[in-house]
Amino acid sequence: MNSFDIFVLPFAIGLYTLLIVFFAKVFDWIKHLPVGDRRKIGRGIRSRKLFGVVKEIFLESLIHRRIFKVNPLLGYMHMSLAFGWFLLIVLGAAESKIYGRDLLNTPWDPIFFKYFKHDTNEFHSAFFNFTMDFLLLFVLSGVFLAYLKRIYARLFGLKKTTKHIFFDRLAIISLWLIFPLRLLAESLTSGIYHNGGFLTDGLGSFLAGFMPVGHLEYTAWWLYSLSVGAFFVALPYSRYMHIPTEILLIAMRRFGIKTTTTFTNFSQIEVYSCPRCGICIDKCQMTSALGNEKPASVYFLNTIRAQKVKPGLSFDCMICGRCEQYCPVGISLMNHRLVQRNKLISNGYNFQFLKNGIPEKARIAYYAGCMTHLTPSIEKAMIKILEKAGTDFVFIDKDGGACCGRPMMLSGNFEGAEKLIEFNRNNILKSCADILVTSCAICYKVFKSNYDLPLKVLHHSEFILELVKSGKININKSGLRAVYHDPCELGRGSKVYEEPRELLSHALELVSTGYDRENALCCGGSLGNIMLGYEEKNKINAAVWKEMMVNDPEMLVTACPLCKKTFNKNAPVPVRDIAEIIADAVQISPVKPNHQLAPEQIAG
Amino acid sequence: MKKHVFIIGGGVAGAEAASQLVKMGFDVTLAEKETQIGGKLNQWDRLFPSKRKAAEVLDFINKNLVDSKARVLFNTEISKISKQNGGYKIYAGIEECTADAILISTGYDVFNARIKEEYGYGIYENVITSVDLEEMFRNGNKIFNSNKEEPKRIGFVHCVGSRDEKVGNHYCSQVCCVTAVKQAMEVKEILPRAEVYCFYMDLRMFGLQFEDLYRESQEKWGVNFIRGRVSEAAENIDGTILIKVEDTLAGRPLKMKVDLLVLMVGFVPSAGTTEIGKMLNLDLTPENFLKPADEHLDTSSTNLKGVFIAGTCKSPKTIADTFADARAATLKIKEFLEGSEK
């Protein structure tokens, strides 16, 4: 088949530019990947993990399952564009190859197929004409929704959409033009030769009724070629780079590669995989409570990609994990923030104050944590429960001890945290305990993720639940209606959602909020953000309180001493830790008479 | 016909304003939610700087109020206030009153020390507030810890709930510094052998003779002042309190065992102040106290015509300042009521 006209050049140049730029990047990324990561790829490709890769690429890159979970309409928009276009390419290639009986035809053959092929007598034409038109309609519905999203983002569940950089605008304009122009070009051609399907032929015949289709056809194909070419040229420099890069990301992640404490080329791939969809902007409480969109992960990744990371932006994040929870690409957004912090911090600490003690030996090691020491009612409640249940325990940090290291990790000081981890780890191991129990969600997170302990690590909510289940303590249930707040580090951080709820359901009535489990809000007291002042933290907390009170609970229960302290400031209802609730419900010992005034008397 | 002024809150400011307004020739109704006049003054034993008995001042207020024959409604809370014929209609308890002007003197609450949980108030028996200590003074000058023993070492923590962004109160409560100095000396009077430590950020001795008190407390009574904020308190098995503090002048962290820890609780707007402010939609200061119409030129009026404010519902104040403020408000009310006649 002789199918060449000068108008295919913009498309061809665009395509080759894209391929060259993209593969040069891929080559560079893979070449400078850490050796360990490269080995993982080598092993992964030869393993069954490859099936998982294909499945995830299909579900996420084409169907966009995670976006469907955020909002079905938004999901449909992405699916129709991605999956629809993908099928158009596949079927278009098949059509042109079958027609030309040439497996190695030019890349533009399928793109401009209708321009060059006018006879419709082929037996398969009816099928292809219908299917290709149907797919084009499918994609056009997505394009229409994309226009609509610019005007009514709220229809798609989005309050804010991403502000785009120059190349994003160029790419998005050309992308928006591609399919309408394809429709126009194919229709005009069909208006002359009647070689289209129900859509293009219908529109073509209609246009032919009052337009000089023969004169316009050629121009339309030129414009179509130009729009595709422009999109391809802009693609590597725009957010659409995520389309090819995400495939790499999915494969490498499935092979076990992660961004942890350093910025590797895998991290770079993650950065390029960000589609700038802006879902993270709405999820960020800095936006919703403080009206500050700047720190949102999408803009932060932009600065990494542009190599213009601002220190302020690196530290202006609560590391609550809400963006990561909802990121449709699954980028490890929190680690990216910490890795950038790590580049900025100075390591001028000395750790001479760490003096090794020899803890007593016991079956259970209880580590309260610094924040629990600042909320002594939690500590007291835990000791009561441990004693009531007759457990053999040692209170490892009774006299203060050393910090668990998590706050240092959150500040990006991984090296300093490592010193604290090593110190505490030795102390914990010396106790010869089988179980480590902590009252602090922050400590729990680092014990679980970074301590590599050869023993069972339990948050006190999990531990107390075990005591209840094994009958070591009995709890009286009251009719009190309480709301449970998931602490970030326990919930999204450590995936402990159900144990606290199950435990609380033994003692009181739980009412829900619109922000339970994965969708929980950060209380605002985060150790992760060192840029926030107390006034701003209070503002965030006040906004959270509003959401927690929607179902009129009589109490707020949480499982993190820092959350408790944060909520306590402007509390419309009492705030308590889960351990306090249980300690009261088991009625270990009557409350001792107190010579102090009750708060009611003081307030009077 | 006599103009009618309705006063909400019968503490120092409200009671003093009531008797003054009667003297000026107005009809006055005073609503008080408690069973007695005087508000927080009833909880204090002696007043700084002269250590005169609070009861003396209370007697003065009570006598004036009784002599004035102002109408006083005890056990009365305000449920609703609405505008009526240029004045106001007030639903006070079971009564409905009309008034030409309203004076709000709903005062302050002390900061709820339980919010500052790291100090253990309400959790450790030997952690008390400055209000609890005054009560001990009033009940016969006997200071005991929870074991009914005389404490050998007592710590005072300044700025509990004041100048503390962590609890959302960044303002100074003004009177706690000098109260701590006064109380520290009183403790030494009762327990001469006890060691007394004050943990402060800085000492704001703004009034006349306050500085002298501070000096006297050190020279005559041997009270120790350590500049540093107590970070946390823990309870030992014997009930004593272990506090952690940084001595910022010596530049070193410090751990100290005390038998009794006194928290100098600051001022917050009282529940009644917040409620009335909401009810009338009054402007608030950033600290959530009631906001005067002009910070310099008219500190008694509000954004609402005919509604006036006096005393600690506006800001933390000493007793002396509260008296002065109440009298200033009465003049403003007089000006308003007589001006409206013309």
On chain B, the residues whose CB falls within 8 A of the CB of A375 are 117-118
| Interface contact B199, partner A, CB < 8 A | no
Q: Which residues contact A118 (CB under 8 A, 6 or more apart)?
A: A189, A193, A195
All structural domains of chain B with their residue ranges:
4-107+270-341, 113-267
CB-closest option in B115, B125, B165 to A534: B165
HSE-up of residue A516 (Cα within 13 Å, Cβ side): 16
Give the Cα separation of A466 and A391 in Å (integer): 12
On chain A, the residues whose CB falls within 8 A of the CB of B234 are 373, 376
| Interface contact A602, partner B, CB < 8 A | yes
| Interface contact A592, partner B, CB < 8 A | yes
On chain B, the residues whose CB falls within 8 A of the CB of A591 are none
Which of B78, B331, B319, B82 lies closest to B207 in space, CA to CA? Answer: B319
A212: preceding bond cis by omega (within 30 degrees): no
On chain B, the residues whose CB falls within 8 A of the CB of A603 are 109-110, 112, 270-271
On chain A, the residues whose CB falls within 8 A of the CB of B239 are none
Tokens standing for residue B127: 């952690």
Give a three-class secondary structure readout of A439-463: CCHHHHHHHHHHCCCCCEEEEHHHH
Give a three-class secondary structure readout of A210-233: CCCHHHHHHHHHHHHHHHHHHHHH
| Interface contact B55, partner A, CB < 8 A | no
| Interface contact B249, partner A, CB < 8 A | no
Mean pLDDT of chain A: 91
For residue range A319-342, list pLDDT tens digits in order: 999 999 999 999 999 999 999 999
Q: Do B232 and A373 touch (CB under 8 A)?
A: yes
Which of A368, A361, A437 lies closest to A399 in space, CA to CA? Answer: A368
| Interface contact A131, partner B, CB < 8 A | no
Amino acid present at B263: L
Q: What is the pLDDT along chain B (342 residues), one digit of tens a residue?
A: 899 999 999 999 999 999 999 999 999 999 999 999 999 999 999 999 999 999 999 999 999 999 999 999 999 999 999 999 889 999 999 999 999 999 999 999 999 999 999 999 999 999 999 999 999 999 987 898 888 899 999 999 999 999 998 888 999 999 999 999 999 999 999 999 999 999 999 999 999 999 999 999 999 999 999 999 999 999 999 999 999 999 999 999 999 999 999 999 999 999 999 999 999 999 999 999 999 999 999 999 999 999 999 999 999 999 999 999 999 999 999 999 998 654
Q: Do A602 and B129 touch (CB under 8 A)?
A: yes
Question: Which residue in the block uniquely carries the two structure tokens 């802006």?
Answer: A278
Interchain CB contacts (distance < 8 Å): A and B: 70
| Interface contact A355, partner B, CB < 8 A | no
Give the Cα separation of A431 and A434 in Å (integer): 9
- Local structure of A489: helix, strand or coil: coil
Give the Cα separation of A51 and A59 in Å (integer): 12
| Interface contact A375, partner B, CB < 8 A | yes
Q: Do B125 and A595 touch (CB under 8 A)?
A: yes
What pLDDT, on a 0 to 100 scale, did the predictor assign at position B340?
Answer: 62
CB-closest option in B118, B121, B144 to A374: B118
- Local structure of A368: helix, strand or coil: coil
Which of A400, A419, A398 lies closest to A408 in space, CA to CA? Answer: A419
Give the Cα separation of B52 and B159 in Å (integer): 24
- Residues constituting chain B: 342
Provide the sign of the torsion angle of the four alpha carbons A374, A377, A378, A383, taken in this order.
Answer: positive
| Interface contact A380, partner B, CB < 8 A | yes
Domains of chain A, each with CATH number or no CATH = 8-32+64-237 (no CATH), 263-344 (no CATH), 364-467 (3.40.50), 475-603 (3.40.50)
On chain B, the residues whose CB falls within 8 A of the CB of A384 are none
Q: Do B146 and A595 touch (CB under 8 A)?
A: yes
- What's the distance, CA A550 to chain centroid? 26
CB-closest option in B128, B233, B271 to A603: B271
For residue range B85-132, list pLDDT tens digits in order: 889 999 999 999 999 999 999 999 999 999 999 999 999 999 999 999
The residue of chain A nearest to residue B262, with distances taken between CA atoms, is: A596
Among 2.70.180.20, 3.20.20.150, 3.30.70.890, 3.50.50.60, name the CATH number for the domain at B4-107+270-341: 3.50.50.60
Helix (H) or strand (E) holding B155: strand B153-160
Q: Check if B4-107+270-341 and B113-267 are the same fold.
A: yes
The distance in angstroms from the start CA to the end CA of chain B is 14
Give the Cα separation of B158 and B228 in Å (integer): 9
What pLDDT, on a 0 to 100 scale, did the predictor assign at position A600?
Answer: 43
| Interface contact A347, partner B, CB < 8 A | no
Angstroms from B214 CA to nearest CA on chain A: 27
What pLDDT, on a 0 to 100 scale, did the predictor assign at position A102?
Answer: 81
Q: Which residues of chain A have pLDDT under 50?
A: 1, 588-604
The residue of chain A nearest to residue B112, with distances taken between CA atoms, is: A599
**A550-566 burial, b if ≥16 CB within 10 A, otherwise e?**
eeebebbbbbbbbbbbb
Dmax (CA) for chain A in angstroms is 101
What pLDDT, on a 0 to 100 scale, did the predictor assign at position A122?
Answer: 62
The residue of chain B nearest to residue A539, with distances taken between CA atoms, is: B168
Pairs from A285-289 (Cβ < 8 Å, separation ≥ 24): A285/A318, A285/A320, A285/A322, A285/A521, A285/A522, A285/A524, A285/A540, A285/A543, A285/A544, A286/A316, A286/A317, A286/A318, A286/A540, A287/A160, A288/A159, A288/A543, A289/A524, A289/A539, A289/A540, A289/A542, A289/A543, A289/A544
| Interface contact B236, partner A, CB < 8 A | no
On chain A, the residues whose CB falls within 8 A of the CB of B117 are 374-377, 564-565, 568
| Interface contact A291, partner B, CB < 8 A | no
On chain B, the residues whose CB falls within 8 A of the CB of A374 are 117-118, 231-232
Give the Cα separation of B183 and B157 in Å (integer): 12
The residue of chain B nearest to residue A604, with distances taken between CA atoms, is: B109
Tokens standing for residue A131: 């299917």
Residue from B166, B230, B260 whose CB has the most chain A CBs within 10 Å, to mutate: B166
What CATH number does the domain located at B113-267 have? Answer: 3.50.50.60
Cβ-contact A110, A128 below 8 angstroms = no
- Local structure of A596: helix, strand or coil: coil
Output the CA torsion A127→A129→A134→A140 (10° steps). 160
Give the Cα separation of B99 and B89 in Å (integer): 6
List the 131-160 stretch of B: residues with Cβ below 8 A of A.
131-132, 135, 144, 146
Q: Do B271 and A594 touch (CB under 8 A)?
A: no
Q: Do B115 and A538 touch (CB under 8 A)?
A: no
Amino acid present at A364: I
Q: Which residues contact B218 (CB under 8 A, 6 or more apart)?
A: B225
Cβ-contact B187, B196 below 8 angstroms = yes
